[in-house]
Amino acid sequence: MIKPHGSDTLNPLFVYDAEKHHALIHEAGDLPSVVVSSASAANAVMMGAGYFNPLTGYMNAADALGCAENMRTTGGLFFPVPVLNLVEDISAISGARRIALRDPNVEGNPVLAIQDVEAIEELSDEQMRTMTGKVFGTTDPAHPGVAAFNSQGRFAVSGPIQVLNFSYFQADFPDTFRTAVEIRNEIREHGWEKVVAFQTRNPMHRAHEELCKMALETLDADGVVIHMLLGKLKQGDIPAPVRDAAIRKMAELYFPPNTVMITGYGFDMLYAGPREAVLHALFRQNMGATHLIVGRDHAGVGDYYGAFDAQTIFDKEVPPGALEIEIFKADHTAYSKKLNKVVMMRDVPDHTKEDFVLLSGTRVREMLGQGIAPPPEFSRPEVARILMDYYQSLD
């Protein structure tokens, strides 16, 4: 099986030992505490689950800036984005060496993790601008990732953490949320060696389904892990439970048996385009995938990134050997009326726009909201039904 990033074995930061876990929960009640941002909570979940291996906690300012500027910590570890605990008000934890981090996304703000505080540093406007510009490729406050990053606060609380729960993800998505440890174990149980990961924050239409099948066939892979983001999205995106139901229905009906795993991870979408694509590759390596599908405008939003920037970053900016996972580069896929199947557009240079079944996202949402199923060449009818029920429930 492929090695995790940065270490020989996966080192999740969740405290699995029951006795130790109980003692830490008890200790947390007496510690100074802070309710962290949703992004900081998501970082803790990802570290707890082993996805952000080999990090042992939140980065300090120097490491965060190093990752933003050249994708390396001061110690030389390759990591494509800063992993920070940014706090707005430090009055409750000032001077503390050990603190409890409370969950902003669960009622009652239960303790999510315990952190040993190595430093509390106030980041300057220039440092925040540098990190924002490098990670997101823009400082435009209208960019949802930029807005979220800059709304958390300016105090970077760094140091190792011990994770005590997985926020709302385990309770809300018991059939879907999986840690990197669990996915590695399941891949091993399947006996899969070559494993393709597919990232999604949306329901999967015919083009996505066929793209996974193309990757399976082209790579002669054993299976595909459909790995959906379960955390916070921008306004207007389809909620995770609806996506989950739609994807499960598609896999159940249209994939060969024992070729697909449907799982999810607890993280808030960054919409950081190329940098997020590299992060996606890193944590898919940690969960045991040997290949990641990177398509057109992967992890993008609006017009901030070029159509294939998320592919070229692996050739131009990721140093050779930094990651072991390989990238399956995909073009835009659509149903060809000429060939009566879904194809990658680059593979059919003789086609014109009229030869494809193409629908804009806006048009699809309008149709679903009106109870009109998109054509079966675009969306499987069983998937369309789930999405129609959701959109009509909004009225």
In this structure, are residues 299 and 277 in contact, taking their beta carbons and an 8 Å threshold?
yes
Q: Report pLDDT digits (tens) over 126-136.
A: 999 999 999 99
Mean pLDDT in residue range 232-252 = 87
Give catalytic status of residue 201 as yes or no.
yes
CA 103 to chain centre: 19
Residue 241, pLDDT > 90, answer no
Catalytic-labelled residue, pool 72, 201, 296, 385: 201
d(CA 246, CA 238): 11
d(CA 383, CA 304): 30
At 202 the pLDDT is: 85
d(CA 24, CA 324): 35
Q: Please, which residues have CB within 8 angstroms of residue 389's CB and are 6 or more apart in sequence?
A: none
For the residues of 275-293, what is the DSSP string, one character each? HHHHHHHHHHHHTT-SEEE
**For residues 222, 386, 201 and 219, what is the CA-based torsion angle, rounded to 10 degrees?**
20
In this structure, are residues 114 and 98 in contact, taking their beta carbons and an 8 Å threshold?
yes
At 125 the pLDDT is: 97
Query: Please, which pLDDT band fits residue 236 given cuts at 50, 70 and 90?
Result: confident
Tokens of 98: 């050990």
At 253 the pLDDT is: 94
In this structure, are residues 212 and 196 in contact, taking their beta carbons and an 8 Å threshold?
yes
Tokens of 43: 């970082």
Query: Please, which pLDDT band fits residue 170 given cuts at 50, 70 and 90?
Result: very high
Residue 363, pLDDT > 90, answer no
- The amino acid at 88: E
Tokens of 395: 């009225």
User: Looking at domain 174-393, what is its CATH homologous superfamily?
Assistant: HUPs (3.40.50.620)
Residue 362, pLDDT > 80, answer no
Query: Domain 18-170 has what CATH class?
Result: alpha beta
pTM for the model: 0.94
Q: Report pLDDT digits (tens) over 109-119.
A: 999 999 999 99
- Using alpha carbons only, how large is the chain's radius of gyration in Å? 21
Catalytic-labelled residue, pool 72, 98, 109, 202: 202
d(CA 121, CA 95): 12
Q: Of 56-65, 100-109, 231-240, give the lowest mean pLDDT range.
A: 231-240
Residue 31, pLDDT > 80, answer yes
Give catalytic status of residue 202 as yes or no.
yes
At 131 the pLDDT is: 98
CA distances from 113 to 57, 208, 392 (A): 10, 36, 40
Which percentage of the chain shows pLDDT scores above 70? 100
Residue 237, pLDDT > 90, answer no
Write out the H or E segment, with its range, that includes residue 244: helix 240-254
Mean pLDDT in residue range 314-343 = 94
In this structure, are residues 273 and 317 in contact, taking their beta carbons and an 8 Å threshold?
no
* All structural domains of the chain with their residue ranges: 18-170, 174-393
CA 373 to chain centre: 29
- Matching residue, tokens 């990197």: 180
CA 241 to chain centre: 16
